[in-house]
Structure 1
């Protein structure tokens, strides 16, 4: 069984049709796959198999956030603080 830790495009050469199968099985609105939660994504990736290909997610950092997400959270908190400061109390 071929296992790849992060990028299915690396295995496309050995497993023609892999990317389309990933699209159909994981990302299609008709697949029924729960990608809205971490647990659902883990289950979906663990169950996925195509032409002896599986995802090895054991070394994936599921709890790490990308810089853009953390930056957005800080920007949002700053914007809310600016709005709260600018409010004039009624009365």
Structure 2
């Protein structure tokens, strides 16, 4: 079998510079969209103490009141598995 011969050399229908320009613009647009998403969709929560939780009675409590305190956990392994007891300590 002999190789397929063409009479005309293969050519792009669009110049390479135009294809490169389209590709470059697509990459730049994607990068700009990613940067905008990072800028405008940041979480609004600044730190741990801005959260609000519900206590055992169903009341909403802000964690701001625990700022500056350390939570000590005591393990009571011997009685019923790994039950933890918590105690708040003021600094």
Greater fraction of residues in helix: 1
Quick one: higher RCO (CA 8 Å, sep 6+), 1 or 2? 1
Greater fraction of residues in strand: 2
Does TM-score exceed 0.5, indicating one fold? Answer: no
Q: What is the TM-score normalised by the length of structure 2?
A: 0.30
